[in-house]
Amino acid sequence: MTAISSVGVVGSGTMGRGIAESALRAGLRVVLHDSSQEALSSARKRIESSLARSVEQGQLSADQASERLALLEPASAPDSLSGCQLVIEAVPEILEVKLAVLASVEGHVSRSAVIATNTSSIPITRLAQALAHRDRFLGLHFFNPVPRMPLVEVIRTVHSSEGTVAATREFVAAGLGKTALLLEDRPGFVVNALLIPFLLAAARMLDNGYAPAETIDEAMRLGCGHPMGPLELADFIGLDVVCAAADAMFGQSHDPALVVPNNLRRLVDAGHLGAKTGRGIYPHG
């Protein structure tokens, strides 16, 4: 399989936009597909602003930023993905939505194209059921903010071919310059299997009156050297994302450490999802 030079990303939200930007910065052609033209326009503006900040900081020249942005093709039609060698699904963590998107993608790409999902918690093997050719499918779990985070979890299933795995690992390592950790399809993979129970434990401490949120976060920053406290981090990730990951992992393992505390559930139900909505565990101006 030849080196991947053209990438499709389905979904232009936080993760999809970040994956697209990382590929653009690596000099790859990117088709960013979303059914919402408004979402595509917003994503392009945010990517353009991010590249402009890199110019201001001396990380890119103005010409380089323009060249990278010119590699981006925002597209609302799914057939725009037809020429992509790799398509990464990055839509919300809803099983039925992901299954429908993956089936649609397979209908628009060549047989040789690799199809990947950026799910953070849904079993990759379960998502593979959407495809007729499961040998070309695996998980590519990126971390937010994608352009800055150096890790990608590469999750294979029993169906993933060696060629698919090798080409994808090369794309992550040589193409994007990130570390590719090859993992098996287990609940939460590695990072979220450790991270989500930690975030929930902090939220449970808050629920049970151990200490205020600020104190819990300060304790972990100063006592353990964490750059962000767990409650700050939950707000940054998105409380809806944290709860969805916990629910999906609990459905697989039934581990009581993955039961979402009441305070988090109430915040999500009220639409207070963290930094992205202006309010979560903390207010965000």
pLDDT, one tens digit per residue, over 28-62 is 999 999 999 999 999 999 999 999 999 999 999 99
Mean pLDDT for the stretch of residues 107-121: 97
Which residue is catalytic, options 22, 33, 141, 232? 141
Region class of 11: left (phi > 0), else alpha (psi between -120 and 50), else beta: left
Which residue is catalytic, options 89, 106, 153, 232? 153
Separation between Cα atoms, residue 99 and residue 136, nearest integer Å: 15
The CA distances from residue 266 to 105, 241, 245, 280, 282, in Å, are: 35, 14, 16, 10, 14
Which residue is catalytic, options 120, 121, 232, 272? 120
Instruction: Indicate if 192 belongs to the active site.
Output: yes
Mean pLDDT for the stretch of residues 10-20: 97
Query: Is 178 annotated as contributing to ligand binding?
Result: no
Phi, psi of 161 (to 5 degrees): -75, 160
Structural domain boundaries in the chain: 6-183, 193-277
pLDDT(5) > 90: yes
Query: Is 112 annotated as contributing to ligand binding?
Result: no
Query: Pairing relation of β-strands 86-89 and 72-75?
Result: unpaired
What is the separation of C-alpha 256 from the centre of its chain, rounded to a whole number of angstroms?
Answer: 25
The number of CA neighbours under 13 Å toward the Cβ of 213 is 17
6-183 topology per CATH: Rossmann fold (3.40.50)
Phi, psi of 73 (to 5 degrees): -120, 95
128-162 pLDDT tens trace: 999 999 999 999 999 999 999 999 999 999 999 99
Instruction: Indicate if 56 belongs to the active site.
Output: no
The CA distances from residue 172 to 59, 123, 202, 227, in Å, are: 21, 21, 32, 25
Mean pLDDT for the stretch of residues 259-278: 97
In the sheet that holds 151-155, the strands lie side by side as: 72-75, 29-33, 6-10, 86-89, 114-117, 137-141, 151-155, 179-183
Instruction: Indicate if 184 belongs to the active site.
Output: no
Separation between Cα atoms, residue 264 and residue 178, nearest integer Å: 32
Instruction: Indicate if 6 belongs to the active site.
Output: no
Query: Is 139 annotated as contributing to ligand binding?
Result: no
pLDDT(280) > 70: yes
Which residue is catalytic, options 6, 22, 121, 192? 192
pLDDT(252) > 90: yes
What is the DSSP annotation of 2-47?
Answer: PPP-EEEEE--SHHHHHHHHHHHHTT-EEEEE-S-HHHHHHHHHHH
pLDDT(119) > 80: yes
% residues pLDDT > 70 (the chain): 100
Give the mean pLDDT of the chain. 97
Q: Could you tell me the pLDDT band of residue 285, with boundaries at 50, 70 and 90?
A: confident
Query: Is 45 annotated as contributing to ligand binding?
Result: no
Query: Is 223 annotated as contributing to ligand binding?
Result: no
166-170: long-range pairs with CB below 8 Å, 24+ = 166/1, 167/1, 167/3, 167/4, 167/86, 167/114, 168/4, 168/86, 168/114, 168/116, 168/138, 168/140, 170/3, 170/4
Q: Could you tell me the pLDDT band of residue 176, with boundaries at 50, 70 and 90?
A: very high
Mean pLDDT for the stretch of residues 238-243: 95
For residue 259, the SS3 value is: coil
Residue from 252, 7, 272, 269 nearest 113 by CA: 7
193-277 topology per CATH: N-(1-d-carboxylethyl)-l-norvaline Dehydrogenase; domain 2 (1.10.1040)
pLDDT(1) > 90: no
Q: Could you tell me the pLDDT band of residue 2, with boundaries at 50, 70 and 90?
A: confident
